[in-house]
Amino acid sequence: MSDERTEEVSEPQVSRNLPVSDAATDGARKDATHGETAHDSEHGSPAPEISVTKIGMQSRLPALDDDADVGVQKEHIVTRDGKADLRFTGVLLASAAPPSAPKGRWQEYRIYQTNGDKNVFSKVTRTVLEGADDAYEAEVFDPSPSSVPSQLIRTARDMTRSRPLTWMDAAVAFFGYDPLAKALYRKLSVRFEEQIS
């Protein structure tokens, strides 16, 4: 009998049908383990498993599964963490995702319009790690000035202006101006730039 123990390294189980390179899965594992890859076995902890489904999603970026639904009237369910999910009939106005996710993490932004003229803003943060939950955020903008959510979104600066809060103001409050948000705004064909003279 030998006292040597063999170390088992858990390799990701990636389908041969998906166009995924070893560098992509190693990069995702390295990001998920804070700099260690599955080949760093000296620390004794196995590398996290990679989700085949999410690797497939990552390989199709910037395309999203619901891109064909843009402009289509249908029932939507928008998932939210820590709150009730949102169910409504309406239209997906635009969606955006980054062109790639080399570290195995990415965000997806979506803007919907309901049949009741409300807007729903959705932000999904995804990771390729098996067992790691994606994060879901969503907010509803009701243009009615008497609605509590629309009043809560308003800042002191907005309240001093004479113009009412618009869905575009609410979108900027939710998504901000990161590069992905700017790509989303461009898809809406609406001017989100700040006008100066």
Evaluate whether residue 105 is within a structural domain: yes
**Angle ∠(108,13,22) on CA atoms, nearest 5:** 75
**pLDDT tens, 41-91?**
455 667 778 999 999 999 999 999 999 999 999 999 999 999 999 999 999
Evaluate whether residue 61 is within a structural domain: no
**pLDDT tens, 85-123?**
999 999 999 999 999 998 999 999 999 999 999 999 999
Q: In what order do the strands lie in the sheet with 105-114?
A: 73-78, 86-96, 105-114, 119-127, 135-141
Evaluate whether residue 113 is within a structural domain: yes
Evaluate whether residue 38 is within a structural domain: no
As a whole number of angstroms, the distance between CA 57 and CA 53 comes to 6
Q: Work out how many domains the chain is built from and give that number.
A: 1
Evaluate whether residue 137 is within a structural domain: yes
Give the other-Cβ count within 10 Å of 182's Cβ: 15
